Amino acid sequence: MPDEFAFLTTLRAIATHPAAAGLADDTAQLDVGAGKLILTSDTIVETVHYRPHDPPRSIGWRLAAVNLSDLAAKGATPLACLLNYSLSGDADWDRAFLDGLDDALTSYAMPLVGGDTVAMPAGAPRSLTLTAIGTAPPKIPLRTGAQVGDTLWVTGKIGGAAFGADGEPRDLARYLHPVPRVAEGQALAPLATAMMDVSDGLLIDGQRLAAASNVALTIDLDAVPLALPGPVLDAACAGDDYELLFTLPEGMDSPVPATRIGIASPGTGLTLTADGTPVPLPAKLGYRHGN
């Protein structure tokens, strides 16, 4: 997408404030008095980020979950959110969407405090934005902090939201109802040397973590915790897991349930192994999207 690349390059030239951190992260950090806020915003578009026949209740839940997952990766505590909603012309759809959103906001104690509601021209795809604000922990884990010798970990299981050969999610419940790791993120924040959420695929996000930290990461494919039996590379290249990927200092155990899947070593890039021997990287490591 050359247009997107050009756009993001121009956008980064505008977003020069330190809080933007070059738009290299999913979140911004904003100084307010004594503390910091974590800001994140995600837009989901019908047919691009979800299927038109997905249940509206799940779309509402997922819009909250993707933002909460970004807060989780910073160890932030949800504080408030704003909803920018495009009316669909289908009151039942709108109501079910709000039910799902409300369910997530209540579950994670993130009150809705504002936003905007607009009507779209007839036939236009829905475009739904949530902006989430959280309070930052004293030490905010970044993508950039992994050190040589650190161990690499992931929470939960990988690949459940992947699409199977039949074009359907392999684990429909997991796809429709991702569970952001907010409490785990808070517990990990003081300890993790680097952390991010796995939204686009374990491998592509692992590659991003390696690049941001300027280390080489090696993932042992035999260790990757799979949501369902099947080829590990399919699972590791699928998106929508919303698990946390993080590094810990050598010898430290994870304070939350998680699986050790690799190590950081001198060098750059991502390397895969299975049965102790190198495995070539797949051509496509995951789903790529914008800033």
Nearest distance from C-beta of residue 73 to a copy of itself, angstroms: 14
CB of 190 to a copy of itself, least distance (A): 20
Whichever of 15 and 281 has its CB closer to a copy of itself, that residue is 15
Q: Was 42 annotated as part of a binding site?
A: yes
Query: What whole-number distance in Å separates Cα of residue 113 and Cα of residue 109?
Result: 12
Would the annotation count 99 as a binding residue? Answer: no
Nearest to 273 by CA among 206, 200, 227, 208: 206
- Minimum separation from the CB atom of position 106 to a copy of itself (A): 9
Taking CA 269 as the corner, what is the angle to CA 267 and CA 273, rounded to the nearest 5 degrees?
100
The CB-of-235 to a copy of itself minimum distance in angstroms stands at 25
102 marked ligand binding residue: no
Whether residue 115 is annotated as binding a ligand: the answer is yes
Cβ nearer to a copy of itself, comparing 62 with 174:
62
Least distance in angstroms from the C-beta of 188 to a copy of itself: 22
Name the residue nearer to a copy of itself (CB basis): 113 or 172: 113
**Which residue's CB is nearer to a copy of itself, number 84 or number 259?**
84
Q: How far apart are CA 41 and CA 70, in angstroms?
A: 9
116 appears as a binding residue in the annotation: yes
Looking from the CA of 162 toward its CB, the CA atoms found within 13 Å total: 23
For a copy of itself, give the closer residue by CB, 52 or 280.
Answer: 52
CB of 273 to a copy of itself, least distance (A): 35
Q: Hey, how many other C-beta atoms are within 10 angstroms of the C-beta on 202?
A: 28
In order of 128, 172, 179, 200, the CA distances from 48 in angstroms are 12, 18, 21, 14
SS3 27: coil
Q: Is 220 annotated as a binding residue?
A: no
Torsion of CA 253, 190, 67, 36, to 10 degrees: 180
241 labeled binding residue: no
Rounded to 5°, angle at Cα 30 from 68 and 155: 30
d(CA 58, CA 177): 6
User: According to the annotation, is 175 in a ligand binding site?
Assistant: no
Question: Do the beta carbons of residue 213 and residue 145 sit within 8 Å?
Answer: yes
Q: Are 126 and 86 in contact (CB under 8 A)?
A: yes
* CB nearer a copy of itself, residue 35 or residue 231: 35
**Residues making up the binding site for substrate:** 49, 240, 287
**Residues making up the binding site for ATP:** 115-116, 143, 199
**Residues making up the binding site for Mg(2+):** 26, 40-42, 70, 116, 197, 200
**Residues making up the binding site:** 26, 40-42, 49, 70, 115-116, 143, 197, 199-200, 240, 287
